[in-house]
Amino acid sequence: MLIIFYIFAALSVFGALGVLFLRNPIHSALSLVGTFFCLGAIYVMLNAEFVAVIQVLVYAGAIMVLFLFVLMLLSSKDSGDYVNKWTIGKILAGLLSLGIFVQIAGLFTAENLELGPKGTYPLEVVEEVGSIALIGRLLFTDYILAFEIIAVLLLVAVIGAVVIAKRRFQ
Amino acid sequence: MIPIEHILLLSALLFTIGVMGVMLRRNVIVIFMSIELMLNAVNLSFVTFARSMDSMTGVVFIFFIIVVAAAEAVVGLSIILSIYRTRKTLNIEEFNLLKW
């Protein structure tokens, strides 16, 4: 179990580094799809099957296909030249992100992490009822207002995308 | 059982790579993909904390985060498409209409 987790973790970090370093943006997008698949496998190991399924369906399946569509539609041939030529800026960016990593990692590995009381859904309950049933029940009871707002947000996003991307004829 | 520190460290590492992508790359679509990577790193820590705290709230939040990410990708890509029509480039240095 642990070995499989480390393999998928290494593959996902590898894919993320591919996004960072590959010159061709289409290669970056495909490498990001690999990262999303590996994260989906890690979600399965964490007993979150529903999240794993929507990760693969929505992220790797829908969002990344949209990215690839736009990349192939725009087909900019000179994109390899889009590099930051300011060396001091690169060094500053590296130092800043190192600082961010140290901060987050220090917070996550702190000894006296105050996490509050435990919830009411231990692993046995989740496996007995099923995680999809529990999420559905929570979505339509405790989080019904957020659910309705997110539906409106999706509608607004669809209409906004059509309006913004529409070609204007004179 | 996987130790939660290792999963959280993986999440921190993916988030940092996303931050570096935003700061180092000049292609606007790659910057957008780095933002998606950061959202995914946060999702991973949400799932980890939800599992280790015996809670279901983190998993429900991920549902909302993924929907918001999808809406953001759709609107952002259509904005990029319409900027490309006037500027004919994806280099973020050229997107300076709002600069003064």
The reply to whether ipTM tops 0.85 is yes
pLDDT in tens, A22-41: 888 889 999 999 999 999 99
Rounded distance between C-alpha atoms, residue A107 and residue B76, angstroms: 32
Rg of chain B on CA atoms, in Å? 17
In one letter, which amino acid is A169? Answer: F
pLDDT in tens, A92-113: 988 999 999 999 988 888 877 7
Q: Is A2 on the interface with B (CB under 8 A)?
A: yes
- Map residue B27 onto helix, strand or coil: strand
Domain that holds residue A38: 1-75
Q: Is A131 on the interface with B (CB under 8 A)?
A: yes
DSSP states of A81-131 as a string? G-B---HHHHHHHHHHHHHHHHHHHHHHT-TT----S--S--HHHHHHH-H
DSSP bridge pairs for B25: A83
- Whether A92 is in a domain gets the answer no
Contacts of B67 in chain A (CB under 8 A): 150, 153-154
- Kindly state whether residues A5 and A70 are assigned to the same domain: yes
CA distances in angstroms from B69 to A31, A80, A115, B34, listed in the order given: 19, 27, 27, 12
Q: Which CATH number fits domain B4-94: 3.40.50.970, 1.10.287.3510, 1.20.1090.10, 3.40.830.10?
A: 1.10.287.3510
Which range (A2-11, A85-94, A140-149, B77-86) has the least confidence?
A85-94
Neighbours of B20 (CB within 10 A): 24
Contacts of A135 in chain B (CB under 8 A): 56, 59-60, 63
CB–CB of B55 and A121 under 8 A?
yes
Q: Which two tokens stand for residue A126?
A: 């989740």
Cβ contact B26:B92 at 8 Å: yes
